[in-house]
Amino acid sequence: MKDWDYEIKRHRAFEAVLWNMPAIAIYSFRRAAFDELGMKDNDIIAYSATATPKLEAITANSSTPYIAAYTDLRKGPAVLEVPAAGADGSLYGQVVDAWQLTIADVGPSGLDKGKGGKYLFVPPGHKEAVPDGYIRVDSPNYRIALAFRSVREPGKTATDAYAYAKKLRMYYLSEAANPPQQKFFDPINNRYPSLPFYDERHFEDMAEIMTVEPAREQDKVMLGMLASLGVERGKPFKPDEKTKRALRQGVIDAWFYLQRWFDHMPADKFYWPDRHYASLLMTDKNKRFTFTYDDRIDLDGRAAEYFWCTYMPKVLSDTPATQYLMAMADKDGKLLEAGKTYKLDVPKDMPVKQFWALTVYDRATCSFIYSDLNRTTLSSYDLDKMKKNADGGATLYVGPKAPEGLESNWIPTCGKRPLPAMRFYGGTEVLNDKTFKMPDFEEVK
């Protein structure tokens, strides 16, 4: 006879993992920053160089340095001072709420329009008037997070971009008369393990989120189910041994379910019908990332998107500044496998105004792959070091071992199942109207 109590808890745990994917993915950044890096609210991460595999994050890039910070509005409104864009640099990025929905863009495309200024993030239900000189942003949640990139201006160096990033300031409004000295962290040589947990710890993080943030009307049924798993506001999360086993199995089942979803990706997700690339930015039908419609919330679509991507824009433009195309299979439609070597013919004339970059992730984690070479990416900036083809293009190789004499054209996989991402920075019209088609990966026999 089945243990029905265990089975119900396992099923509820499975659905809860899919439901909370946007929130858990963004909370994991905060948890790791505080527990592993020793940060506190309003401290700022400013990477002095592009990321290495030590940044264990979902589909991060290693082409531009990152900036990140976290705050808790239960302590009151928080101020973010953003420098003006100009010859010294500019910022690009988003501030998101606890459900990872963008509440403010910054920089030239943001609320400050590149003029800089003081953003003031206020908590739910904040009734007090905002002092003059602030850009008010109402947050529906208490904990918020930001991720920016410091964009290097023409003629400037990576050192200049790092110096520009350190012009940021973050503090509570209660400290505005005498702001504390800004504390910056540079984790370039530190492991920053910001990936969600896919074991029973997943629910420790879930409890840490759901017992703090306001209950949205659309989530109350699920919150009722979570109470049966021990996640309940005002009570410590202390599941018994049977519940722990159910939670662990439920989250493992959810991870496998999402892996299977990507292995059997709906055909309409492919960027070109006769190629095997899918956009990392898989929106809902409204080109947004809420997956909310008049009659339903697309639970699976939302979970899949936030499983492999973080910090999305509010709306996806028809001409996005950066296009991320993920290789899901080879030219014959066979899923990419661990232990095999693949090649990709990159044309000489790629449809980009800025540059292109191929990054390879571990399909299991959607994060960088550790290797002795420490190489995660090859880009158009590396072409001078590569062996080129007769037509001026280059063939790139992805696999456990470099083909002889082609080490400079190779990204190691170290036994991991690859998830290659071709990034187009400043895509041109022929990319956006799909008249250009990227060749598929081919297995090297």
* C-alpha separations of 348 from 25, 84, 351, 380, 388 in Å: 37, 37, 10, 10, 9
Ramachandran region, residue 97 (left: φ > 0; alpha: ψ -120 to 50; beta: rest): beta
pLDDT tens-place string over residues 298-349: 999 999 999 999 999 899 999 998 999 999 999 999 999 999 999 999 999 9
Q: What is the pLDDT of residue 242?
A: 96
392: Cα within 13 Å, side-chain hemisphere: 3
What SS3 class is residue 367? strand
Superfamily, domain 37-190? Domain of unknown function DUF1254 (2.60.40.1610)
Arithmetic mean of pLDDT, 230-252: 96
Amino acid, single-letter form, for residue 265: M
Arithmetic mean of pLDDT, 220-247: 96
In Å, how far from its chain's centre is CA 351?
24
**Residue corresponding to tokens 């640099």:** 89
pLDDT tens-place string over residues 95-116: 999 999 999 999 998 999 999 9
Residues whose CB falls within 8 Å of the CB of residue 256, separated by 6 or more in sequence, listed in order: none
pLDDT tens-place string over residues 166-175: 999 999 999 9
**Residue corresponding to tokens 């008249």:** 435
Confidence of residue 73 (pLDDT cuts 50, 70, 90): very high
CA triplet 40, 113, 140: central angle to 5 degrees? Answer: 45
Arithmetic mean of pLDDT, 362-384: 96
What SS3 class is residue 377? strand
Question: Rounded to two decimals, what is the model's pTM?
Answer: 0.95
pLDDT tens-place string over residues 5-17: 999 999 999 999 9
Widest CA span of the chain, in angstroms? Answer: 72
Q: What is the pLDDT of residue 158?
A: 84
pLDDT tens-place string over residues 127-155: 999 999 999 999 999 999 999 999 888 88
* Domain 4-19+197-263 CATH (choose: 2.30.40.10, 3.40.50.150, 1.10.3360.10, 3.40.50.2300): 1.10.3360.10
Query: What is the percent of the chain with per-residue pLDDT over 70, rounded to a whole number?
Result: 100
Q: How far apart are CA 410 and CA 344, in angstroms?
A: 10
Query: What is the percent of the chain with per-residue pLDDT over 90, rounded to a whole number?
Result: 95
Q: How far apart are CA 217 and CA 52, in angstroms?
A: 41
For the chain, domain boundaries: 4-19+197-263, 37-190, 267-443
Confidence of residue 1 (pLDDT cuts 50, 70, 90): low
Strand partners, 360: 420
Rg (CA), the chain: 22
Q: Where are the alpha helices (DSSP H) in 68-216?
A: 158-165, 201-210
Q: How far apart are CA 276 and CA 330, in angstroms?
A: 7
Q: How far apart are CA 170 and CA 315, in angstroms?
A: 26
The structure tokens listed for 12 are 């509820």
In Å, how far from its chain's centre is CA 332?
29
- Span 267-443: which CATH code? 2.60.120.600
DSSP string, 255-320: HHHHHHHHHT--GGGBSSTTS-EEES----TTSBSS-B-SS-B-HHHHHHHHHH--S--SB--SS-
Confidence of residue 156 (pLDDT cuts 50, 70, 90): confident
Strand partners, 381: none
Determine which helix (DSSP H) or strand (DSSP E) holds 18, and give its type and residue range: helix 4-19
Please state, as a whole number, how many other Cβ atoms lie within 10 Å of the Cβ of residue 348.
11
Q: How far apart are CA 187 and CA 40, in angstroms?
A: 14
The structure tokens listed for 301 are 């679509």
φ, ψ for residue 112 (rounded to 5)? -85, -5
φ, ψ for residue 261 (rounded to 5)? -60, -45
Q: What is the pLDDT of residue 20?
A: 98
Q: What is the pLDDT of residue 63?
A: 85
Q: How far apart are CA 332 and CA 276, in angstroms?
A: 9
Q: How far apart are CA 408 and CA 171, in angstroms?
A: 45
The structure tokens listed for 267 are 């055909």
Arithmetic mean of pLDDT, 111-129: 96
Please state, as a whole number, how many other Cβ atoms lie within 10 Å of the Cβ of residue 136.
14
Does the fold of domain 37-190 match that of domain 4-19+197-263? no
Q: Are 285 and 241 in contact (CB under 8 A)?
A: no
